[in-house]
Chain A
Amino acid sequence: MGQILLDGIVKSYGKVVVVKNLDLTVQPGEFLTILGPSGCGKTTTLRMIAGLEEPDQGAIKLNDKVVFSRNNGVVVPPEARHLGLIFQSYALWPHMTVAKNITLALKEQKISKSEIAQRLENALDMVQLTGYAERYPSELSGGQQQRVAVARLIALRPSILLMDEPLSNLDAKLRTEMRASLKRLHRDLGATTVYVTHDQIEALTLSDRIIIMNEGQIMQEGSPYDIYHHPANIFVAEFIGDPGINLFKGTISNGMLDCGAISIPLPTTIANRGGNLIAGIRPEKIKVSETAKNGWQEVTTGILQPTGANTILEVKAEDIPITLLQTGFITLSENTPLWIDFETDALSFFNTQTQENLRNEVS
Chain B
Amino acid sequence: MVFLAPWLLLGTLLGALPVIIHLLNKPRYRREEWGAMRFLQAAIIRRSRTIRIQHLLLMLLRALVLVCFALALARPVMRAANIGAGGQPTTHVLIFDGSYSMRQGEHRQNAFLRAKNSALEIIDEIREQDNAILIWAGNKPRAITPRAVYNRAELRRMVEQLEPGWESADIPRAIEYSTWMLQSSTLPRHRITVLSDGRHGTWPIDDTDVWIDMRTAYDAHRLPLNIYGLLQPPERPVRNMAVSALRARYPLLDIHREAPFVVEIDNYSGEENAAELVINVNNEQVETRPLTLREGRHTETFTHLFETAGSHAVTVTLLDDDLPVDNRRTVAVEVLERIPVLLVEGRSGRDPFESDGILLSWALEAGAGEGNDGLFSVEVRHAADFGSMTAADLMNYKCIIMANVRSVSAESSRILDQYVRDGGGLLIGLGTEFDALAWNRLERGREGMLPANINERRDADGRPWRPVFPAGLALDALGLFDISRTRTLGDVRVESHYAVSPVEGALTAGVVDDAPLLLVKKHHEGAVALWTTSLGLEWCNLAAVPDYVPLMQNLVFYLSSSVVPPINIQQGETLVYSWSRAAALDASVTNSPAPPRICTLTLPDGRTEELTMTTRMGEHLAFWGETLQPGVYRVSAEGVPDRIYAVNLPRDAANLQPVEITGDSMDLEHAPVKLTGSGDALRQAIRDETGVRDIGILLALLALAFLLGEMILAWRTAG
Q: Do chains A and B interact in one complex?
A: no
A binding-site residues for B, Cβ under 8 Å: none
